[in-house]
Amino acid sequence: MIRNPVHLTLALLAVLGLVALPAASNLEAQGSKGTIKIATQSPLSGGQAALGEGIKLGAQLAVEKFKGNLEKMGYKVALVPYDDQAKPDVGVANAKNIIADKDILAVIGHLNSGVAIPSSEVYKEVSLVMISPANTNPVVTDRGYLNVNRVCGRDDVQGVVGSEFAHATMKAKSVYVIHDKTQYGQGVAEFFKTDAEKKGIKVLGFEGTEEKSNFDPIITPIKAKNPDVIYFGGIYDQAAPFFKQAREKGVRSKFLGPDGMDSSDLTKIAGKAVVGMDYTSAAGPASVLPKAKAFVEEFKKKFGKNPEPYAAEAYDAATVALKAVDAAVKGGKVSREDVATAVRKTKHSGITGDIEFDSKGDRKKALYFVLQVVSDDPAKWGDNKIVKQLTISPPEKK
Amino acid sequence: MDYPLLLGIFPQVLLDGIILGFMYALIALGYTMVYGVLEFINFAHSEIFIVGAFVGVEILLSLRSAGVLDTLPWPLVLLFVLVAGMAISGALAVTVERIAYRPLRTAPRLIPLISAIGVSFFLQDLIRLVESIWRNAFNLVYPTMDQLNYRFELTETIDVPVKSLVVIAAALAMLWVLHVIVNRTTIGTAIRAVAEDQAAASLMGIDVNRIISLTFLIGGAMGGAAGVLFGVQYGLINPYSGFIPGLKAFTAAVLGGIGNIPGAMLGGLVLGLLEAFAASYLSLLTAGAFGAEYKDIFAFSILILILIFRPKGLLGEVVRGRA
């Protein structure tokens, strides 16, 4: 049974009564009450893997750090990562596997709203709680499901933060809006556009595209119209080549985008073209959150790289999930519904600030930022300058 | 309607369309040559194309990390990268033919087609696997050579980057070389003979297998060159980047008349121009009601119209004619 020399030594010491076995080795203790699993769902492969991997690692760190309590109670705790490939069909298929595994009591995910919304319909069938670190589309929580929560902000606020910034700080008179035709990208672009028009900014174009490599024919009319600002509602793997080709073609407009821009891969792909561009974020960069310093250090030490955006949110989301499971377990037998109810009641002072959910699952006070890219070196993504920081409550349900 | 704007961007859109068109034409050659000889559609060609782009990016990245990319003269670097891309894509095409198509040559027509689709998926994920282990990356960025990005500004809205001129020049040069090989050399005569009648050609002392390998080599090399040029022009590639351009190039080959080399060129250009004009003008002409996202619908609707009236393609299908 005991093959590992370290375990052998520990066992011998224990026999000699010299040391009490640490809690961690309770894993092999008799009378285990079963396993509790926390699942993550995020793109671990493909063009958005950088962010998706960050979500997984953030959650992993939280689970390793806070599982002790549950282990003391005799449970095994495990993190099970799923790769949703940023595709709705894959997310839903994974979700079906997840609900079939009775040990899974919470899901941390997704990255993409367009994946989270259909997947959470599956979780809802069994009241499995989902805590999202990154899904900003309003629909995610506006459906009013008990099991759906998020620790980040909302696009109807984020889009307005962007248009307000374009109006007041960038002094834009005209904008051109591009989006990626996904629920997230088009959604935030529409909120941006509507509010920009209200503020008297002229919207010279509103264009959706699924193109990934050749943006020439889209850029040509933009260049001719010469808008003050180009807003890209989408994600960095598509926006970066667009910005790069636009600059190469001599477009001089300023660039602006939502939190989909928030990855070091943006500068890795677009280089100098995006230096000085601004983007809004519904999640704070770990580098500016005072309580996240220790987290950043630990993350670097363990995984050998800087946490990507949303890693801190995933860490907080997983911590809240574990806390809720803790609370639910105290009542004896754990059901998924108990955990979902417990999450809504949980108050947690996390590294991204105080977390408390309202009746829809939105965070009562969410943070919004406007950031500026400072360097074309991807390693310096964490140094991006905060231009503006806001704390805003979710809008009242219409 | 803003007529000065519509007219002002016209030359730029024309240029964009021509570049895209030549890109499609180079890829389409691979489909059309193989079809001309074997009457078989090599669906793995889109991956053979993108392998060329990956060879290019790997060489350029190694040169950059060795610190010599900016000191070497850029035409030389580009030429070397093109030749390397052509060699490896060509060799890959030959290997694929040897392993996945030759054993099936006497099988019913659909069998090698299915094999080709299988090879296409296999290669996509193989590239993904290799790149994720080797570079831990999905998207690879072509290192920019500053001279290639230099732009000649003709007017306020129109400028011509050096790299676009390079793409056009390289495409024209390769099409000319191919024309010479097929029509003026003994090898070309042998290829045409095999296309016309394999049995008779072998009776005349032509090694049919060798000629078929050669056809794949040439088609693959053209694809590899197109891959390098694609990377240089658009700057970003991933293992799945080849699929859509491959599909479009296949369409271009059919449009021009599959099996017909000048047809592939013409089809590529027509498709590239249609796409560029649709993407740039649709939203301007319809006041935003139809945006650039309708470019493929528009381009393919026109294609269907053309094929209704000319079912054998613009220049006619040359089966059993020239390769």
Q: What is the pLDDT of residues A81-120, one digit of tens each?
A: 999 999 999 999 999 999 999 999 999 989 999 999 999 9
Phi, psi torsion values for A205, nearest 5 degrees: -170, 150
Average pLDDT of span B229-240: 91
- Cβ contact (<8 Å) for B235 and A244? yes
Taking a C-beta distance cutoff of 8 angstroms, is the pair A369, A386 a contact? yes
Please report, for residues A30, A233, B19, B299, the alpha-carbon distance to residue B293 in angstroms, rounded to integers and kept in the order given: 61, 15, 20, 11
Tell me the residues of A at the B interface, defined by beta carbons under 8 Å apart.
45-47, 49, 181, 205-214, 216-218, 220-221, 223-225, 237, 240-241, 244-245, 248-250, 265, 268-269, 271
Highest mean pLDDT among A243-252, A332-341, B135-144: A243-252
Model pLDDT, residue A28 = 44
- Cβ contact (<8 Å) for B234 and A181? no
Phi, psi torsion values for A49, nearest 5 degrees: -65, -30
Statement: residue A265 has pLDDT above 50: yes
| CA atoms within 13 Å, Cβ hemisphere of B263 | 27
- Strand (E) or helix (H) holding A184: helix A183-198
User: Is B185 at the interface with chain A, CB within 8 A?
Assistant: no
- Cβ contact (<8 Å) for A240 and B236? yes
The CATH superfamily of A31-154+288-364 is: Response regulator (3.40.50.2300)
B275 or A8, greater pLDDT: B275
Statement: residue A25 has pLDDT above 60: no
- Cβ contact (<8 Å) for A208 and B16? no
- Cβ contact (<8 Å) for B293 and A210? yes
DSSP structure string for B289-302: SS-GGGHHHHHHHH
Statement: residue A21 has pLDDT above 50: no
Model pLDDT, residue A7 = 59
User: How many interface pairs between A and B have CB atoms less than 8 angstroms apart?
Assistant: 101
Statement: residue B222 has pLDDT above 70: yes
Looking at the partner chain, which of B17, B157, B279 has a beta carbon nearest the beta carbon of A218? B279
Looking at the partner chain, which of A214, A223, A268 has a beta carbon nearest the beta carbon of B234? A214
Instruction: Please tell me the distance from the alpha carbon of residue A316 to that of residue A293, in angstroms, as a whole number.
Output: 14
Q: What is the pLDDT of residues A179-223, one digit of tens each?
A: 999 889 999 999 999 999 999 999 999 999 988 888 988 998 898
Q: What is the pLDDT of residues B78-103, one digit of tens each?
A: 999 999 999 999 999 999 999 999 99
What average pLDDT does chain B have? Answer: 89
Statement: residue B291 has pLDDT above 90: no
Q: What is the pLDDT of residues A146-178, one digit of tens each?
A: 999 999 989 999 999 999 999 999 999 999 999
Q: Which residues of A touch B247 (CB under 8 A)?
A: none
Q: What is the pLDDT of residues B295-308, one digit of tens each?
A: 888 888 888 888 89
Looking at the partner chain, which of B9, B128, B283 has a beta carbon nearest the beta carbon of A205? B283
* Selection from B30, B80, B73 nearest residue B55 by Cα: B80
Taking a C-beta distance cutoff of 8 angstroms, is the pair A239, A219 a contact? no
User: Is B154 at the interface with chain A, CB within 8 A?
Assistant: no
* Selection from B130, B109, B95 nearest residue B35 by Cα: B109
Looking at the partner chain, which of B8, B235, B293 has a beta carbon nearest the beta carbon of A208? B293
Provide the 8-state DSSP code for A381: G
- Domains within chain B, CATH numbers bracketed: 3-309 (1.10.3470)
CA of B17: which chain A residue's CA is closest? A217
Confidence of residue A32 (pLDDT cuts 50, 70, 90): low
- Cβ contact (<8 Å) for A216 and B238? no
The angle formed by the CA atoms of residues A393, A132 and A234, to the nearest 5 degrees, is 85
Percent of all residues in chain B with a pLDDT value above 90, rounded to a whole number: 50
Model pLDDT, residue B43 = 93
In the β-sheet with A229-233, what is the strand arrangement from edge to edge?
A202-208, A174-179, A229-233, A254-257, A278-281, A366-372, A385-392
Q: Tokens representing A217?
A: 């024919």
Model pLDDT, residue A118 = 95
DSSP structure string for B71-89: TS-HHHHHHHHHHHHHHHH
Statement: residue A26 has pLDDT above 70: no
A279 or A292, greater pLDDT: A279
Q: Where are the domains of chain A?
A: 31-154+288-364, 156-281+368-392
A397 or A390, greater pLDDT: A390
Pairing of strands A278-281, A104-109: unpaired
Q: What is the pLDDT of residues B157-193, one digit of tens each?
A: 777 888 888 889 988 998 899 989 988 999 999 999 9
Taking a C-beta distance cutoff of 8 angstroms, is the pair A354, A347 a contact? yes
Model pLDDT, residue B323 = 43
Taking a C-beta distance cutoff of 8 angstroms, is the pair A42, A56 a contact? yes
Model pLDDT, residue A5 = 54
Min Cα–Cα distance to chain B from A46, Å: 6
Min Cα–Cα distance to chain B from A43, Å: 12
Q: Beta-carbon neighbour count of residue B16 at 10 Å?
A: 27
**Same topology between domain A31-154+288-364 and domain A156-281+368-392:** yes
Q: Which residues of A touch B132 (CB under 8 A)?
A: 45
Domain A156-281+368-392 adopts which CATH fold?
Rossmann fold (3.40.50)
- Residue A39 pairs with which residues in a beta bridge? A80, A107
Identify the three-state secondary structure at position A177.
Answer: strand
Phi, psi torsion values for A38, nearest 5 degrees: -110, 125
Provide the 8-state DSSP code for A394: P
Give the range among A224-233, A313-322, B135-144 with minimum mean pLDDT: B135-144
Please report, for residues B49, B91, B110, B205, the alpha-carbon distance to residue B215 in angstroms, rounded to integers and kept in the order given: 15, 11, 21, 18
Q: Which residues of A touch B13 (CB under 8 A)?
A: 217, 220
| H-type alpha helices, A4-112 | 5-15, 49-66, 68-72, 88-100
- Cβ contact (<8 Å) for A221 and B275? no
Statement: residue B320 has pLDDT above 50: no
Instruction: Please tell me the distance from the alpha carbon of residue B249 to that of residue B24, in angstroms, as a whole number.
Output: 5
Phi, psi torsion values for A195, nearest 5 degrees: -75, -35
Q: What is the pLDDT of residues B11-28, one digit of tens each?
A: 889 999 999 999 999 999
User: Is B5 at the interface with chain A, CB within 8 A?
Assistant: yes
Average pLDDT of span B194-208: 91
Taking a C-beta distance cutoff of 8 angstroms, is the pair B120, B46 a contact? yes
Min Cα–Cα distance to chain B from A87, Å: 15
Confidence of residue A17 (pLDDT cuts 50, 70, 90): very low
| H-type alpha helices, chain B | 3-8, 10-38, 45-65, 74-96, 110-134, 146-149, 162-184, 186-196, 198-203, 208-234, 243-256, 261-285, 295-309
* Selection from A170, A172, A169 nearest residue A197 by Cα: A172
| H-type alpha helices, A331-382 | 336-345
Model pLDDT, residue A33 = 77
